[in-house]
């Protein structure tokens, strides 16, 4: 029989650890398909902590499927999985995660489940699909209106991206970067310059409103926004330019990754 | 390297998540693609820069005592609401005119015919019409590489004529400001192609107008 690949969650199962192996109790009516010799990745909440092999199972001779009872799996031959090892790190790199990109644990909700050999290879050898990750995470971080507008911007200014397959994430990231620079960062500069003028003349904080908003006492002020911005800038990291430069170094390597995903913006039948 | 990159991606995402919306209303922050009605922040930047330039030669004070307190309208709105504004005073300390942002100008002879001036110098009246406005400035945020369009110049010229906006004023010293005439201003390029029209209509194009611009361009 072929080797199986599985994740087992150690945070939702009853597990005992003795330093060299984990004894995991799975409660299920069905006899688990996990068998001796299979590869296991242990998942503790959001983190893949260890890889190992199944040394022993308690249910080899069980015949009855209907009895709800403890099924014990002993995982040994452990190797610690180093960072990057969180589900979030792999959110855009594992085919298993096809929907809940910002909450990838939703695809790992059961106490154990199957992985593919490719996915285990991706996790253990850190074959992160960086360009897809960059596009996905940066896109998801934007205000909903900006998300919609970015799609509309791509479709009007760069329609070829929409009809090509597989999606060229390097190119897409460049377009996203350009969109953010010209539509958001430019306005950050307008805000900062406005603040400088206001402070120089010691004017009070100024804001924007609409007639109907005033009753709700909801106004956006220049100083208030500047404070949010200043706070956010404390931890803005190396920026989109660094990311663009960084991912471009993995262009060759990622040909493998893009072969795993059937990403296309349009249903195949509509593609020319 | 991959860890470093992942971290940079996470941090950029977190940063953008916080700054791509306005802090109180949650409205999107930035230019809304293909929707010029949302470029109030660029208009505001041009407005404050203009006020700063005027302050060199004039006495200008802010007035936030109206019904809308310290707020400017996000979209063109009637002046009677009492939006924040700047007021100019002469050397004797007499209040001479208002410098407003986003105020609707009516026409006393034409029903239902008005426009929202991004920036306007006007008499201190509550319902400004064609007799009250001295100068208007239209601010256009554009994508890099774009330029002022013919129809935008035509619109400015026709407003100037229909609303009788002289573009000069002897009560306020405009000398040395970027906007000494009725103007259209953009962060992108002016239209050299329509230089003759601009001159003929006695209006002004101001280009590359953005913070720390190395080359603000003026065409009139």
Total domain count for chain B?
2
Domain housing B116 = 31-219
Scanning every residue of chain A, which has its alpha carbon at the shortest distance from the alpha carbon of B145? Answer: A182
Looking up residue B105, the CATH number of its domain turns out to be 3.40.1350.10
> Are B71 and B162 in a shared domain?
yes
Shared-domain flag, residues B60 and B133: yes
B19 and B107 fall within a common domain: no
Cβ B6 vs Cβ A209: under 8 Å: no
**B149 and B201 belong to one structural domain:** yes
Quick one: which H or E segment has residue B41?
Answer: helix B40-55
B5–A214 CB contact, under 8 Å: no
- ipTM value: 0.96
Q: Which of residues 132-161 of A touch B (CB under 8 A)?
A: 133-134, 137-138, 140-146, 149-150, 152-153
The pLDDT score that the predictor gives to residue A46 is: 95
Q: How far apart are CA B121 and CA A152, in angstroms?
A: 37
Q: Which residues in chain A are closer than 8 Å to B28, comparing Cβ atoms?
A: 143-146
- Residue-level pLDDT at A272: 45
Are residues B29 and A225, on separate chains, in Cβ contact within 8 Å? yes
What residues of chain B lie within 8 A of the CB of A230, using their CB?
none
User: Each residue of A64-111: pLDDT tens digit?
Assistant: 665 667 889 999 999 999 999 999 999 999 999 999 999 999 999 999
Same domain (yes/no): B8, B103: no
3-state SS, one letter per residue, for A177-209: HHHHHHHHHHHHHHHHHHHHHHHHCCCCCCEEE
Query: Same structural domain for residues B18 and B91?
Result: no
Chain segment A167-178, per-residue pLDDT in tens: 899 999 999 999
Q: Nearest CA to B42 among B113, B142, B124, B120? A: B142
Q: Are B19 and B72 found together in one domain?
A: no
* Confidence bin at B102 (pLDDT 50/70/90): very high
Q: Which chain B residues are Cβ-neighbours of A241 within 8 angstroms?
A: none
pLDDT band at A267 (very low <50, low <70, confident <90, very high): low
Total CB pairs under 8 A between chain A and B: 205
Q: Is B74 on the interface with A (CB under 8 A)?
A: yes
- The continuous run of DSSP H or E covering A147 comes out as helix A144-157
Same domain flag for B107 and B184: yes
Q: Considering only alpha carbons, which residue of chain A is nearest residue B82?
A: A211
- Both B64 and B165 in a single domain? yes
Domains annotated for chain A, with CATH where assigned, are: 5-125 (3.10.590), 131-270 (no CATH)
Chain B nearest-CA distance from A245, in A, is 10
pTM of the model: 0.91
| CB burial of residue A268 (10 Å; 0-12, 13-18, 19+) | exposed
**Best A128, A186, A249 residue to mutate vs chain B (most B CBs within 10 Å):** A186
**How far is residue B136's CA from residue B120's CA, in Å, rounded to a whole number?**
4
| Same-domain status, B149 and B207 | yes
Q: How far apart are the first and last CA of chain A?
A: 42
| B11 and B54 part of one domain | no
* pLDDT one-digit tens code per residue, B162-185: 999 999 888 899 998 999 999 999
Same domain, residue pair B20 and B69: no
């Amino acid at each position: 029989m072929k080797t199986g690949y599985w994740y087992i969650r150690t945070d939702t199962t009853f597990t005992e650890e003795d330093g060299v192996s984990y004894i995991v109790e799975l409660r299920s009516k069905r006899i688990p398909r996990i068998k001796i010799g299979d590869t296991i990745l242990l998942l503790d909440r959001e983190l893949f902590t260890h890889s190992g092999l199944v040394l022993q199972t308690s249910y080899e001779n069980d015949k009855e499927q209907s009895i709800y009872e403890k099924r014990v799996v002993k995982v040994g031959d452990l190797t610690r999985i180093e960072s990057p090892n969180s589900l979030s790190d792999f959110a855009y790199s594992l085919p298993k995660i096809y929907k809940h990109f910002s909450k990838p644990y939703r695809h790992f909700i059961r106490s154990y489940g199957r992985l593919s050999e490719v996915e285990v290879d991706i996790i253990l050898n850190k074959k992160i699909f960086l360009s897809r990750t960059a596009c996905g995470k940066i896109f998801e971080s934007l205000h909903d209106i900006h998300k919609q507008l970015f799609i509309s911007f791509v479709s009007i200014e760069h329609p070829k991206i929409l009809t090509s397959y597989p999606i060229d994430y390097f190119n897409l990231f460049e377009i996203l970067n350009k969109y953010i620079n010209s539509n958001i960062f430019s306005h950050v500069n307008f805000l900062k310059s406005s603040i400088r003028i206001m402070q120089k003349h010691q004017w009070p904080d100024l804001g924007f409103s609409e007639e109907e908003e005033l009753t709700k006492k909801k106004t956006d002020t220049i100083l208030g926004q500047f404070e949010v911005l200043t706070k956010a800038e404390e931890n803005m990291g190396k920026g989109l330019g660094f990311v663009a430069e960084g991912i471009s170094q993995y262009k060759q390597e990622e040909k493998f990754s893009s072969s795993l995903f059937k990403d296309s913006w349009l249903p195949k039948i509509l593609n020319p | 390297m991959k860890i470093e990159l992942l971290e940079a991606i996470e941090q950029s995402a977190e940063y953008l998540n916080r700054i791509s919306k306005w802090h109180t209303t949650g409205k999107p922050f930035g230019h809304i693609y293909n929707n010029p009605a949302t470029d109030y922040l660029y208009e505001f930047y041009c407005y404050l820069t203009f006020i700063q330039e005027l302050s060199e030669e004039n006495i200008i004070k802010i007035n936030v005592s109206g019904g809308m307190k310290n707020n400017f309208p996000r979209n063109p709105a009637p002046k009677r609401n009492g939006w924040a504004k700047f007021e100019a005073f002469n050397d004797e300390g007499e209040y001479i005119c208002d410098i407003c942002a986003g105020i609707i100008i009516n026409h006393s002879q034409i029903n239902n015919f008005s426009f929202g001036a991004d920036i306007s110098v006007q008499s201190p009246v509550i319902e400004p019409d064609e007799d009250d406005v001295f100068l208007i400035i239209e601010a256009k945020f554009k994508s890099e590489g774009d330029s002022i369009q013919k129809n935008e110049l035509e619109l400015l010229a026709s407003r100037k004529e229909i609303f009788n906006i002289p573009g000069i004023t002897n009560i306020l010293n405009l000398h040395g400001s970027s906007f000494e005439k009725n103007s259209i201003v953009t962060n992108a390029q002016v239209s050299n192609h329509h230089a003759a029209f601009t001159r003929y209509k006695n209006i002004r194009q101001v280009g590359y107008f953005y913070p720390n611009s190395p080359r603000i361009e003026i065409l009139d």
